[in-house]
């Protein structure tokens, strides 16, 4: 006789194994997979220059020309800085209604290597500034469009660019199907390690990944501190390297240092004794990547009793640019108490292995996230890959995105919708090519405005 146990809130319902898959499959009647080929259309779409200007609001004014200059470098760079504009465009695209924790900015350059707690290297999504709960399709379409643009910048022919986008979607679909078949714990703990290359048949990337891994192992706080600090009064301090790195005044430095006290309360308790063995020595302002340029970001130098450094990054956390567009399509993310907490929670939700020192704090009324700086990080430049490497990279990143989404969305439901054939792959690839064309037009509008002196840009930074 089987004992009947009442279900407990917080645990899943007792239901048939195939139910989520069947639910996903049934969604094809309402939202055909071919519908994902349709381009975004919106009469209210802002122009590219207006979108850039509006996205600069609230940033450090003297740094926004650097951001504009980086976005003007090429169409792929423009896409990297225009997550909000693409979210606006995605409002008008096909949606299944299945939600997942999104990266929010899942372009091809936001995947990379980083160190785990034991000194190993993991490859995964690595930027979560825009993370929010929303339609899984949005991340996938942003990835696919970015691969087309990266390939075009690299000089890859149009068919191969489209192939990379299509194969990224195919890898997403197949990985989601694989995860749906695994025991739940195995699927949840799937690690992005060397098995990823064989799973995605990314043989043309093996040599390049080996080089990136070797470089990443040396990309540490100690190496950064050796290049960016000088000895003074028995300790060390940062040295200006303008415009990217600059020392800050005593008052600003004291405010950042004081904010590390509340930060400790957000770190897992077992990690606090580790941080307690370091002393704070200096603070500097450091300009960050394309989409984040102009946000406030500090590096904090900590030294242990032997003078060995640990560098923390204290980076401003602004509201996700996806938020108004998610509400427009019926997703209502829970109210955010602290934007830094949102970023950290989203990162932990999507990664199997996260930085052991992740946390958040507030500096002079502004929310910040805190993490290790130069934690053996390494990355591949998608816009510098050969055609064969780009296709391999697309498959690898598509698989990683599927694994990340499967933490918050039932992989059986998404796999049921995606199916076994290539209908979704072809549709999203078609969308990606059309969106790449639109982004090239946006980029041309921005560069024309720069040439005509309508918007300031600083290049080469």
Tell me the pLDDT band of 423, cut-offs 50, 70 and 90.
very high
Q: How do residues 214-272 score in pLDDT, each as one tens digit?
A: 888 888 888 999 999 999 988 899 999 999 999 999 999 999 999 999 999 999 999 99
At residue 397 the predicted structure's pLDDT band, cuts being 50, 70 and 90, is very high
For every residue of 187-245, DSSP letters joined together read: HHT---STHHHHHTT-GGGHHHHHHHHHHHHT-SHHHHHHHHEEEETTEEEE--BTTTE
Give the model's confidence band at 16: pLDDT under 50 very low, under 70 low, under 90 confident, else very high. Answer: low
Confidence of residue 201 (pLDDT cuts 50, 70, 90): confident
In this prediction, residue 297 carries a pLDDT of 96
More confident residue, 86 or 40: 86
**56 pLDDT above the threshold of 60:** yes
Q: What is the pLDDT of residue 195?
A: 63
The token pair that represents 345 in the structure block:
């929670």
8: number of Cβ within 10 Å: 7
Q: What pLDDT shows up at residue 360?
A: 98
Q: Which of 90-104, 180-194, 444-458 has the lowest mean pLDDT?
A: 180-194
pLDDT above 90: residue 393: yes
* Whether pLDDT at 21 is above 60: yes
Report field, pTM of the whole predicted structure over 0.85: yes
Tokens of residue 193, six digits: 């390690």
- How far is it, in rounded angstroms, from Cα 279 to Cα 301? 8
Average pLDDT over residues 282-304: 92
Least confident of 90-94, 95-99, 377-381: 377-381
pLDDT of residue 317: 97
The helix (H) or strand (E) run that includes residue 369 is strand 366-372
Half-sphere exposure in the Cβ direction for 282 (13 Å, CA)? 22
Q: What is the mean pLDDT of residues 269-298?
A: 93
Percent of the chain predicted with pLDDT > 90: 77
- Can you tell me the distance from the alpha carbon of 243 to that of 132, in angstroms, rounded to the nearest whole number? 32
Residue with tokens 């990080």: 377
Q: Which tokens go with 198?
A: 């064989």
Question: Are 266 and 369 contacting, i.e. CB atoms less than 8 angstroms apart?
Answer: no
Distance CA 52, CA 265 (A): 36
C-alpha torsion sign, points 113, 116, 121, 125: negative
Distance of CA 332 to the CA centre of its chain: 21
pLDDT at 150: 98
Q: What is the pLDDT of residue 123?
A: 86
- Output the pLDDT for position 194: 54
Q: What is the mean pLDDT of residues 4-18?
A: 67
Overall average pLDDT of the 283-298 stretch? 90
Give yes or no for a cis peptide into 243 (omega within 30° of 0): yes
Q: What is the dihedral of CA 71, 94, 27, 29, to 10 degrees?
A: -150
| pLDDT reported for residue 10 | 72
Q: What is the crossing angle of helices 19-30 and 411-418, to 10°?
A: 40
- How far apart are the C-alpha atoms of 151 and 384, rounded to whole Å? 8
Q: Identify which has the larger pLDDT, 119 or 420.
A: 420
Relative to beta strand 366-372, strand 359-363 is: antiparallel
Class of residue 234 by CB neighbours under 10 A (exposed 0-12, middle 13-18, buried 19+)? exposed
Q: What pLDDT digit, counting tens, does each position of 113-155 carry? A: 888 877 777 889 999 999 999 999 999 999 999 999 999 999 9
In total, the chain counts a number of residues equal to 461
Q: What pLDDT does 196 receive?
A: 67
* Highest mean pLDDT, choosing among 7-11, 296-300, 331-335: 296-300
pLDDT higher for 190 or 17? 190
Rounded mean pLDDT, 79-103? 96
Residues with Cβ within 8 Å of 419's Cβ and at least 6 positions away in sequence, in order, are 25, 28, 33, 173
Any idea which residue has 């938020």 for tokens? 323
Complete edge-to-edge strand list for the sheet that includes strand 245-247: 245-247, 279-286, 297-303, 309-316, 366-372, 359-363
Q: Which of 84, 126, 123, 80 is nearest to 103 (CA)?
A: 126
Q: Which residues pair with 134 in a beta bridge?
A: 100
Report the candidate in 143, 203, 100, 208 with the shortest Cα–Cα distance to residue 398. Answer: 143
Least trusted range by pLDDT, from 188-197, 229-238, 293-302: 188-197
In 3-state terms, what secondary structure has residue 82?
coil
pLDDT mean over 167-194: 86
Which residues lie below 8 Å from residue 119, measured CB to CB, with a gap of 6+? 376
Question: CA nearest 24: which of 134, 188, 173, 145?
Answer: 173
From the list 263, 273, 324, 266, the residue with the least C-alpha distance to 298 is 263
| Mean pLDDT of the chain, nearest integer | 92
pLDDT, one tens digit per residue, over 318-361 is 999 999 999 999 998 788 999 999 999 999 999 988 999 999 99
- Rounded to 5 degrees, φ, ψ at 297 are -145, 130
């Amino acid at each position: 006789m089987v004992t009947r146990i009442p279900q407990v809130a917080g645990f899943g319902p007792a239901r048939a194994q195939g139910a989520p898959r069947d639910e996903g499959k049934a969604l094809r009647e309402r939202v055909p997979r071919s519908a994902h080929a349709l381009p975004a259309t919106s009469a209210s779409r802002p122009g590219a220059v207006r979108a850039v200007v509006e996205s600069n609001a609230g940033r450090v004014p003297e740094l926004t020309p650097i951001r504009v200059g980086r976005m003007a470098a090429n169409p792929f760079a423009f896409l990297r800085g225009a997550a909000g504009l693409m979210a606006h465009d995605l409002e008008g695209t096909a949606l299944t209604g299945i939600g997942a924790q999104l990266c929010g900015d899942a372009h091809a350059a936001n995947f990379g290597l980083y160190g785990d707690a034991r000194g190993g290297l993991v490859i995964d999504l690595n930027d979560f500034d825009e993370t929010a709960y929303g339609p899984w399709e949005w991340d996938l379409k942003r990835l696919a469009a970015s691969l087309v643009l990266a390939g075009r910048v690299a000089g890859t022919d149009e068919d191969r660019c489209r192939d990379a986008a299509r194969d990224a979607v195919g890898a997403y679909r197949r990985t989601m199907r694989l995860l749906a078949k695994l025991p739940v714990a195995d699927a949840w703990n799937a690690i992005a390690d060397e098995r990823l290359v064989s799973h995605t048949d990314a043989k043309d990337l093996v040599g390049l990944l080996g080089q990136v891994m070797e470089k990443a192992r040396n990309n540490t706080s100690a190496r950064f501190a050796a290049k960016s600090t000088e000895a003074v009064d028995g300790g060390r301090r940062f040295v200006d390297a303008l415009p990217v790195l600059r020392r800050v005044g005593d008052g600003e430095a004291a405010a950042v240092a004081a904010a590390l006290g509340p930060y400790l309360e957000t770190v897992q308790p077992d990690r606090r004794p580790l941080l307690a063995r370091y002393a704070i020595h200096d603070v500097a302002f450091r300009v960050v990547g394309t989409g984040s340029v102009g946000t406030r970001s500090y590096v904090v130098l900590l030294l242990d009793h032997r003078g060995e450094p640990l560098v923390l990054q204290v980076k401003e956390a602004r509201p996700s640019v996806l938020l108004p567009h998610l509400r427009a399509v019926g997703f209502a993310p829970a109210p955010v108490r602290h934007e830094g907490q949102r970023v950290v929670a989203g990162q932990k939700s999507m990664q199997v292995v996260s930085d052991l020192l992740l946390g958040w704090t507030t500096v002079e009324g502004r929310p910040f996230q805190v993490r290790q700086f130069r934690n053996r990080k390494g990355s591949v430049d998608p816009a510098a890959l050969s055609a064969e490497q780009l296709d391999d990279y697309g498959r690898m990143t598509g698989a990683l995105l599927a694994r990340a989404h499967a933490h918050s969305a039932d992989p059986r439901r998404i796999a049921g919708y995606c199916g076994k054939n290539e209908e979704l792959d072809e549709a999203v690839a078609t969308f990606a090519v059309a969106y790449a064309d639109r982004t090239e037009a946006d980029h041309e509008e921005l560069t024309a405005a720069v040439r005509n002196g309508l918007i300031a840009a600083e290049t080469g930074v």
